[in-house]
Amino acid sequence: MYKYDQLDQTIVEERVAQFRDQVARRIAGELSEDEFKPLRLQNGLYLQLHAYMLRVAIPYGVLSSRQLRQLAHIACRYDRGWGHFTTRQNIQFNWIKLEEAPDALADLAKVQMHAIQTSGNCIRNTTTDQFAGAAADEIEDPRVWCEIIRQWSTFHPEFSFLPRKFKIAVTGSPNDRAAVRVHDIGLRMHKNARGEVGFEVIVGGGLGRTPFIGKTIRDFLPKQHLLSYLEAILRVYNQFGRRDNMYKARIKVLVHEIGIEAMREKVEAEWQAIKDGALQLPQDLVDQIAAHFAPPPFETLPAGIAPEYAQAFRTDFEFGLWARRNTAKHKQPGYAIVTISLKKEGEAPGDASAEQMQAVADIADRYSFGEIRVTHEQNLVLPHVKQADLPAVWRALKAYDLATPNVGLASDIIACPGLDYCALANARSIPVAQQIALRFKNWERAHDIGELKIKISGCINACGHHHVGHIGILGVDKAGEEYYQVTLGGSADQNASLGDLIGPGLDARQVVDAIDAIVETYLRIRQKDEIFLDTYRRVGLKPFKEAVYAAA
Amino acid sequence: MAKAPKLNDRPHVVTANHLSTGDVVYLTAQNEWSRAIADAVIAPNAEAAAAYLAEAEEQARRNIVVAPYLIPVDTQVSPPNPIQFRERIRAFGPTTEAA
Amino acid sequence: MPLLKAGQIVDDPWIRVAEDAALPDDQPVLITHARWEAEKEALSQRNAPLGIILPNSLDVLGFGAEAGRFSVIVLSFPKFSDGRAYSQARLLRERFGYIGELRASGDVLRDQLLHMHRCGFDAFEIARADAAEIFAKALAAYSAYYQPTGSSPQTVWAQRLRQRQEAAQ
């Protein structure tokens, strides 16, 4: 993984010093709250419902064991012993004191971490496939380009006060695990007719109040032009994006209003003027960054299933259940990718205790070259585990309640913090997720239901990605009461789609029953091998709607 | 069913976040701030509420608290119970303890 | 309004002239873009130096070719959070090679000075007695940058390339 050189390190340390000065000026009264707010936000510090919340970037979801241990330290020293992994490969600490925030950032800087641009109307943490560098279906490792984007976007002087926030996602695989079609810019690596690898550039996707699936602005962008092309898009957006209404200020609205052809014309014209300039990346520098992402020293192992793994799979039912759901195919023979579920039924999705973080760091050191990933679905990943070690990894995880065999199942729910923590929320998310997960706790039923992505947001900002949930749930405030709107048929993968609203809102108790009724309907009418989404796409809303409102 | 009183007709307390810690706090009768809503000074009417809020805003200008505002409370119970759901969560903490 | 230029507080010799007011002879004036568009020919006859105030909604691609006719270009920050003028500044400096004074006007705050400087601004309308001091501090906050912009061409990347070349020798 990427390691800072002295220059990167200096910049992050200078940021800590700058923020320490800003906090001191605020506490001394030299800065008003109005002046200070944008400054603290650009360093990921929010004032939430109960306290300050610090959002720490985990660039493109990659963590070393040392970094994860430091996050555990932050959780203990500055918080109440917990961290919350978010839907954007970040981690949030919910109980931070303003006066201690600079110290927390200084501790993060010691392990090459920061909270830079985790909020504000700037370019946010770039996200990618949590299986990058390990996935069997990968064309090329997207992390190299994510790191290049990280550097280019860090304190970009022209793009620090955009009309609105800006999110970039990259996938290096045809099976999109990074939701690139619902980002401000999505980059999909693929090969052109000559076998060269480049980017399909997708622009104007996004969730929130007005969801859009992104549109392709360029089919194939040669890699060396990535930064100039991004700069051209951002420059057009910075100048022409709407600033009269914050709800219409994202790039998706600009693309929608002027149309993708006009957008392309502007961007391509701007790009022509800068493409051969200083942002054209010298291969030397790309190689230097790529070298950081060289594969770890894998053992040469035979192809096929390792005997120890096969043996445990046959003899230990519980292990087999877990291995089926929580492991994925690795590109290296004899290895597997392990997803660690942070979705134990009844717990808050994405939460990890300091003790669990320590445990995962230790397990990663022993079994996964000290590397961990964070997923936008709020789980963790051990990217490089020998198949023969899977039974031991499973036992080690189980000791810390980290082996729930539910990845991709009904209880593997994405949920934003909701009204329990978030100052913007209209309704709670976590308790709804907890109740639904408990409803689908029975493993037999859950595995029979199969892949089902339930996503819950506590307000229209859609941090819980409800629009692209197979089942989406949106919390709204109706005359002081929490209500939930249910959508069906959303998806964030390479066949992205937005969910359809099923009908009138439901209260917190009804919504759990409604999900149950929807799932029962699916089980009744599904055809061979169909997952819920397939069935929905075949039959549409009607039978599900009837089932939900029949009882009401 | 008797109509619930309008929000504005209810007693109010002043809440804010403490600047340097971020804690949820309530204005007390001594013009200090407490993390417990039980310590909050109750404004029985709009006039008192305006006076307490003015004091709180002055303290915000002096950088003791951030963004003070009034919230309606039910004083039939002890401690006073915020009428709005959001304010109950602020007063008594997240509701997410595992079931 | 005091002016911070080249790191110093200086007197501002430029007179802002309202849209419909008569232009004083032989004095440097700042005119609006609308006036320039309407009275281009007459204004071109003036001997005294001319400066222009551009709205931040202007697409400077249509204006850039004329930029060299002005000694001062004033770009606007109606609110500090409205960042359109950053792009205008870079385009004027880097695309059109404008070398005159590029002035930031409006909501110009301490914590944005560095961004403005890096985008090519060299003058700032900022009403603070300690403007020179905070400007010096703002510029000293960082010792390296990733982006090759007009005023910070010595990027981290350029430094890395140099380090590699030196190491190779």
Residue of chain A nearest B84, judged by CA positions:
A480
Pairing of strands C123-125, C3-5: antiparallel
Strands (E), A211-341: 215-222, 327-329, 335-340
Report the C-alpha gap between A530 and A417 in whole angstroms.
Answer: 32
The secondary element (H helix, E strand) that includes residue A455 is: strand A454-457
Task: Compare CB distances from A39 to C111, C157, C164 and report the shortest one's residue.
Answer: C111
**How many Cβ contacts (< 8 angstroms) between chains A and B?**
70
User: Over pLDDT 90: what percentage of chain A?
Assistant: 96
- Considering only the beta carbons, identify the residue of C59, C141, C164 that sits closest to A14: C141
**The pLDDT value given to residue C22:** 87
CA C31 from chain centre, in angstroms, equals 16
B7: pLDDT confidence band, cut at 50, 70 and 90? low
**Residue C71 burial by Cβ neighbours in a 10 Å radius (0-12, 13-18, 19+):** middle
Averaged pLDDT for residues C85-93: 98
- Strands C50-54 and C29-32, sheet pairing: parallel
| Residue B48 C-alpha from the chain's centroid | 13
pLDDT, residue B3, reads: 53
Residues A200 and A145 in one domain: yes
- Are A322 and A420 in a shared domain? no
Q: Which member of C119, C143, C144 has the closest CB to residue A158?
A: C119
List the end-to-end C-alpha distance of chain C, in Å, as a whole number: 54
C22-48 average pLDDT score: 91
Contacts of B60 in chain A (CB under 8 A): 33
Residue C127 has pLDDT above 90, yes or no: no
Q: Find the domain containing A314 and state its range.
A: 307-398
Same domain? For A186 and A265 the reply is: yes
Q: What is the pLDDT of residue A530?
A: 97
Chains linked to C by 3 or more Cβ pairs within 8 Å: A
C contacts of A238 (beta carbons < 8 Å): 83-84, 86-87
Q: Are C139 and C160 in contact (CB under 8 A)?
A: no
The answer to whether residue B98 scores a pLDDT higher than 60 is no
> Given A27, A50, A346, which is nearest B19 (Cβ)?
A27
Of A119 and B96, which is predicted with more confidence? A119
Asked if pLDDT for residue A471 goes beyond 70, the answer is: yes
> Any idea which residue has 């007693």 for tokens?
B11
Q: What is the percent of chain C where pLDDT is above 90?
A: 74
B98 contacts A434? CB cut-off 8 A: yes
Q: Where are the beta strands (DSSP E) in A99-144?
A: 127-128
Residue A77, token pair as written in the block: 């020293």
Strand order in the sheet with A500-501: A414-415, A454-457, A471-478, A481-488, A500-501
* Domain range list for chain B: 7-92
Chain C contact set for A156 (CB, 8 A): 146-147
Residue window 282-311, chain A: list those with CB within 8 Å of chain C.
282, 284-285, 288
pLDDT tens sequence across A256-289 = 999 999 999 999 999 999 999 989 988 988 999 9
What part of B 39-78 touches A (C-beta under 8 Å)? 60, 62-63, 66-67
Tokens of C145: 């940058």
A239 to C90: CB separation less than 8 angstroms, yes or no:
no
Q: Tell if the CB–CB gap between A481 and B85 is shorter than 8 Å.
A: yes
pLDDT of A425:
95
Chains sharing 3 or more CB pairs under 8 A with chain B:
A
Tell whether A247 is covered by a domain. Answer: yes
One domain for residues A330 and A251: no
- Asked if A168 and A123 count as a contact pair (C-beta separation under 8 A), the reply is yes
- Is there a domain that residue A504 lies in? yes
Nearest to A98 among B22, B94, B98 (CB): B22
Contacts of A245 (CB under 8 A, 6+ apart): none
Inspect the interface and report whether the beta carbons of B89 and A49 lie closer than 8 Å.
Answer: yes
Residue among A18, A155, A158 minimizing CB distance to C90 = A158
- DSSP secondary structure string for all residues of A305-365: --HHHHHHHHH-HHHHHHHHHHEEEBSSTTEEEEEEP---TTSPTTEEEHHHHHHHHHHHH
CB-CB contact of A164 with A246 (8 Å): yes
Subunits next to A (3 or more Cβ pairs <8 Å) are B, C
Interacting residues of C158 by C-beta distance below 8 A, sequence separation 6+ = C148
8 A C-beta contact, residue A415 and residue A433: yes
Q: Would you state the pLDDT for residue A539?
A: 98
Closest partner CB to A152 (pick from C109, C141, C147): C147
Cβ–Cβ gap A39/C84 under 8 Å: no
Same domain, A391 and A418: no
Which CATH number characterizes residue A22's domain?
A: 3.90.480.20
Q: How confident is the model at residue C152 (pLDDT cuts 50, 70, 90)?
A: low
Task: Give B4's DSSP letter.
Answer: P
d(CA A19, CA A25): 10
Which residue in chain B is spatially nearest to A432 when comparing CA positions?
A: B96
Distance, in Å, from the CA atom of B99 to the CA atom of A436, rounded to the nearest integer, reads 11
Indicate the residue of C59, C87, C114 with minimum beta-carbon distance to A158: C87
Q: How far is A171 from chain C (nearest CA, A)?
A: 24
Angle, alpha carbons A169-A172-A177 (nearest 5°): 60
CA terminus-to-terminus distance, chain A: 53
Query: Do the strands A380-386 and A371-374 form a parallel or antiparallel pair, or are they unpaired?
Result: antiparallel
Percent of chain C with pLDDT over 70: 98
DSSP secondary structure letters along A363-423: HHHHHSTTEEEE-TTS-EEEEEEEGGGHHHHHHHHHTTT---S-TTSTT--EE--GGGT-T
When pLDDT is averaged across residues A202-213 and rounded to a whole number, the result is 95
Residue found under tokens 């090969």: A191
Mean pLDDT of C97-114: 95
Q: Where are the alpha helices (DSSP H) in A79-196?
A: 101-109, 143-153
Alpha helices in A28-118 (DSSP H): 33-41, 65-78, 101-109
A51·B17 Cβ contact <8 A: yes
In a domain, A31, yes or no: yes
How high is the pLDDT of residue B79? 95
Contact partners, residue B30, CB within 8 Å, separation at least 6 = none
Spell out the residues 6+ positions from residue A372 whose beta carbon is closer than 8 angstroms to its own: A62, A63, A64, A65, A68, A360, A361, A364, A380, A381, A382, A383
Residues A301-357 pLDDT 10s: 999 999 999 999 999 999 999 999 999 999 999 999 999 999 999 999 999 999 999
In a domain, A393, yes or no: yes
Task: Give the pLDDT score at B5.
Answer: 59
Q: Are residues A270 and A183 in the same domain?
A: yes
Give the whole-number percent of chain A exceeding pLDDT 70. Answer: 100
Residue A252 three-state SS = helix
User: The tokens of A510 are what?
Assistant: 């009804």
For residues C84-90, give the mean pLDDT.
98
> How many H helices and E strands in chain B?
2, 5
Confidence check: pLDDT of A360 > 50: yes
**Are B22 and A51 in contact (CB < 8 Å)?**
yes
Where does residue A188 fall: left (phi above 0), alpha (psi -120 to 50 degrees), or beta otherwise? Answer: beta
Q: Do chains B and C touch (3 or more CB pairs under 8 A)?
A: no
Q: Give the pLDDT score at B52.
A: 97
The amino acid at A322:
W
Q: Which residue of B has its CA nearest to A420?
A: B94
Nearest CB partner across the interface for A18, out of C84, C88, C141? C141
Listed residues A256, A291, A326: the one ending a domain: A291
At residue B64, does pLDDT exceed 70?
Answer: yes
Contact A420 B66 (CB under 8 A): no
B19 touches chain A (CB under 8 A): yes
Strands, sheet with A185-191, edge to edge from the N-terminal-most edge strand: A127-128, A168-171, A185-191, A197-203, A215-222
If you measure CA to CA, which chain A residue comes closest to C158? Answer: A285
In the chain, the amino acid numbered C90 is: R
Architecture label for domain C3-141 = Alpha-Beta Barrel (3.20)
Instruction: Identify the residue whose tokens are 């009768």.
Output: B29
What is the predicted pLDDT for the residue at A551? 61
Candidates A534, A508, A385; CA nearest to A449 is: A534
pLDDT tier at A97 (50, 70, 90 boundaries)?
very high
Our count of domains for chain A comes to 4
pLDDT, residue B18, reads 97
**Residues of A contacting chain B (CB within 8 angstroms):** 26-29, 33, 47, 49-52, 96-99, 346-348, 419-421, 428, 430-431, 434-435, 438, 480-482
Using an 8 Å CB-CB cutoff, list residues of chain C that contact chain A.
Answer: 59, 80-84, 86-88, 90-91, 95, 109, 111-112, 114-116, 118-119, 141-149, 152-153, 155-157, 159-161, 164
- At residue B6 the predicted structure's pLDDT band, cuts being 50, 70 and 90, is low
Distance CA C71, CA C100 (A): 5
Over the stretch A37-84, which tens digit does the pLDDT of each residue have? 989 999 999 999 999 999 999 999 999 999 999 999 999 999 999 999
Q: Which residues of B touch A346 (CB under 8 A)?
A: 98-99
End-to-end CA gap in chain B? 34
In this structure, the answer to whether residues A98 and A214 fall within a common structural domain is no
C-beta atoms of B89 and A98 within 8 A: no
User: Where do the domains of chain C lie?
Assistant: 3-141
Q: What is the ipTM of this complex?
A: 0.96
* Same-domain pairing of A237 and A321: no
Q: How far is CA A497 from CA A219, A275, A468, C67, C113, in A?
A: 20, 33, 6, 47, 43
pLDDT at residue B4, rounded to an integer = 57
Q: Give a yes or no: residue A227 inside a domain.
A: yes
Q: How far is CA A550 from CA A545, A546, C68, in A?
A: 8, 6, 73
For residue B99, name the pLDDT band (cuts at 50, 70, 90): very low
CA distance C166 to A519: 65
